[in-house]
Chains A and B, each alone.
Chain A
């Protein structure tokens, strides 16, 4: 099934003509309304008029997450705030999060794209959608919610957490579809079985999973324990939120990027050179229709590849493969994005703690765990050789990580010699997860 038959199955030629026209419009618009783009285009020696065809896209400079932070909070908005009806933000300590805005029309577009995702998953207005993506500043919850309403389905705005309640509603309301992170789906199944719930006999028939990397092996496991079809969805708040790309029920091999609204490229993360389709590299997106927060050649740091082969579902939009990694050191812990530098910033803010640390990421059962190993500083230990003082510091670190970054971590104080002295920051992270 296809929600917007006309646009999702546009012949490539017509689609590319539409993309070209929209690209030219957005480039003109950002050049004239956002100081940042005027400066970067000028510095790169390119003007909006130079963009004659899609092949001219690589002439435009990249936009990075750092650019978003430098222009925090609203510096990259292309419309006055009076036209913005919604704000979302990534987690982060002050000044480091990225803020995105939406106009009425942006919300309308986003809702349609999420509705397209649900229909690609075989859902109709007769379905009940259990939405366990977090509601709030995170785009997941509200993004999926608006799409479900747009489709006319019945949406249960569960948000994350409170697993027992989720299990009760899964049994009592009988939702036919669920949206959450893949690891949370496994966690629900595990806790449900522990409570004696027959998870395979629920009315669920399809799951739409995203916001963290997962594998085909995890897909098999989810499909088996819940007796559903599990589909992959892709999105990021900077580009829009969930609904940038979605796997179709018919193909189940790669996610269709909604190309009438986004241009996707893959680049070599080292050189920035554009790679031919099919080659694995960093995904770069350009928004074609967004009004409040358009982005030109945004480097996602997600590693994937583009599949141009036609899909049996009939959509003409190219697909992107599963995201297999990152070209930076961002960690995704239970669907929450966090950089080691953000954890470091929290540690630096706590008296008596030195930023000598190591992060151990693992998966216990179905849930990601983060252990932050912090060196006991000379200053802390010489003031107090008492257990309760050290434990108080542990609790303080855990609380600050939760408050500032939204992550739950186990804090472990360690001897100075247990931690290597790192030159770079990449090796501060030990990721033991087998995904």
Chain B
């Protein structure tokens, strides 16, 4: 039920993000969603894409430092309290969120939240027990 995410190390300098998007365009990769964490010197671009292998290969070939990390995608109703419901159940079991980002589905009914947990397996177990819709990777890549 886990999702593979591609993370790319970027220096903070003009054009570094543009270079990544150009490589992905040339490789015909479609980005589902992304987030960018940054500091004064560097950033980490995190991508959910339609083809994880192709993406990491293309970026590696161009000299980028790339890693594949496991994240968890959870569908929540797009209304007040949607995210809170998830965090509430996780808190009880001391699951920590390292980072998260979200996007709204094309239908507009639901939001999908991408979580990086300190313990993905435990988190998935808890979420499913509480009837949250944990989205499988292959479904998400082709959303």
Contact = CB atoms under 8 A, between A and B. Distances in A.
B65 to A, nearest CB: 5
Contacts of B46: 385
Interface string A395-435: 00000000000000000111111100000000000000000
B63 A417 contact: yes
Most chain A C-beta atoms within 10 Å of own C-beta, residue among B38, B44, B62: B44
A383 B9 CA distance: 13
Interface in B54-106: 62-69, 98-99
B11 interface: yes
Contacts of A391: 39
Q: In terms of DSSP, what is the predominant structure of the interface of chain B?
A: strand
Interface string A375-397: 11110011101110011000000
B42 A381 contact: no
Interface string A356-379: 000000000000000000011110
A416 B59 CA distance: 12
B11 A418 contact: yes
A415 B39 contact: no
Contacts of B65: 375-378, 381, 415-416
Contact-size category for A: 10 to 19
A416 B16 CA distance: 13
Contacts of A415: 9-11, 16, 63-65
A376 B98 contact: no
Contacts of B62: 417
B5 to A, nearest CB: 8
Nearest to A391: B39
Nearest to A386: B98
A416 B64 CA distance: 6
A381 B9 contact: yes
9 contacts: A375-B65, A376-B65, A386-B37, A386-B98, A390-B44, A413-B11, A413-B41, A415-B65, A416-B63
Interface of A: 375-378, 381-383, 385-387, 390-391, 412-418
Closest 5 CB pairs of A and B: A417-B63, A385-B7, A382-B67, A376-B65, A381-B65
